[in-house]
Amino acid sequence: MKITQHSSENTLTLSLDGELDASSSVLLDSELNAPEILNYTKVLIDCQRLNYISSAGLGVFISHLQRFQDANVKLVFFNMQEKVHNVFEILGLDSLLTIVPSQAEAAAV
Amino acid sequence: MKNAIRISCTRRNLKVVRDFVSGFLGSYQLSELHTNQIVLAVDEVVANLIIHGNQEDESQFLDVRVSMRNQEFGIEIEDESPTSYSPSSYKEPDLQEFVRIGKKGGVGMMLVNRIMDRVEFTTVGAHNVCRLYKKLG
């Protein structure tokens, strides 16, 4: 798993590249855990190169969601592959999280 | 075709098992989505056995065997850990509650139960076997 950060004004974009499992999700957790992330108003997760996600990866997002909401930071997923989106759907997480098709739509949320 | 694999109990081997299962399923013309679901269910059980059952002790091993009979995929995962999973204690989690309290784990078995047709855990002494089945096509 490779995570690339890109920030502009009030938005931080994290691009995920690879497979998010019980081994690699530790890295994502430490990225999202950084206190300065709450200084942004929006955190966008680019999932274009995210090829796989397990419950460990989902758990990282679930565990930070309330903290983000409390700090008025929007968490938005975009460019998600169908097989990855399907994992969110199986648990009904697609209705708890904001998932949009494209970067333009993510920027407009 | 290789139908069995033995791995030591480290998280690094999760990818090894995923590749093994997707390689096995590769000859059955499944959609990418269905292959991913089965690989995910196996990954969840294997992660639980490595992390919770065997505390990531690399001197411990899991034996994984796959089969296809009458268009039904089956997988057996065996280990010798003293702590075995008890499906009777399983309760479907409330995800909104997990979000509220910031809970990190606990949705893996929910995925397994929703994806697979049958999920069985048996323990005889210190010998545990988990079996997962899914009808294809």
Q: Which of A21, A82, A92 sits opposite B95 (nearest CB)?
A: A92
Geometric angle at alpha carbon A88, from A79 and A23, rounded to 5°? 90
CA gap B26, B84 in Å, rounded: 31
Of B116, B85, B17, whose CA–CA distance to A90 is shortest? B116
Report percent pLDDT > 70 for chain B: 99
Domain limits of chain B? Answer: 4-135
Please give the full DSSP string across B70-108, using - where no structure is assigned: TTEEEEEEEE--SS---GGG-----HHHHHHHT--S--H
Q: What letter would DSSP give residue B27?
A: G
Q: Which of B43, B100, B107 sits opposite A58 (nearest CB)?
A: B107
Question: Is residue B107 within 8 Å of residue A62, measured between CB atoms?
Answer: yes
CA gap B4, B89 in Å, rounded: 30
> What is the topology classification, in CATH, of domain B4-135?
Heat Shock Protein 90 (3.30.565)
Higher pLDDT, A88 or B86: A88
Contacts of residue B123, Cβ cutoff 8 Å, sequence gap at least 6: B84, B129
Label the pairing between strands A42-53 and A74-78.
Answer: parallel
CA gap B50, B10 in Å, rounded: 6
- The CATH code of the domain at A2-108 is 3.30.750.24
Domain limits of chain A? Answer: 2-108
Q: Which of B98, B112, B116 to mutate to test the interface with A (most CBs of A within 10 A)?
A: B98
Let me know if B29 is exposed, middle or buried by CB neighbors in 10 A (0-12, 13-18, 19+).
Answer: exposed
Q: What is the mean pLDDT of residues A46-59?
A: 98
**pTM greater than the 0.90 cutoff:** yes
Q: Does B69 touch chain A (CB under 8 A)?
A: no
pLDDT tens digits for range A19-45: 999 999 999 999 999 999 999 999 999
* Closest residue on chain A to B52 (Cα): A22
Structure tokens at B28: 């059955």
Q: What letter would DSSP give residue A45?
A: E
Count other Cβ atoms within 10 Å, centred on residue A5. 11
The predicted pLDDT at position A78 comes to: 98
pLDDT tens digits for range B96-121: 999 999 998 889 999 999 999 999 99
The predicted pLDDT at position B36 comes to: 98
Which residues from chain A sit within 8 angstroms of residue B33, using beta carbons? Answer: 82-83, 86
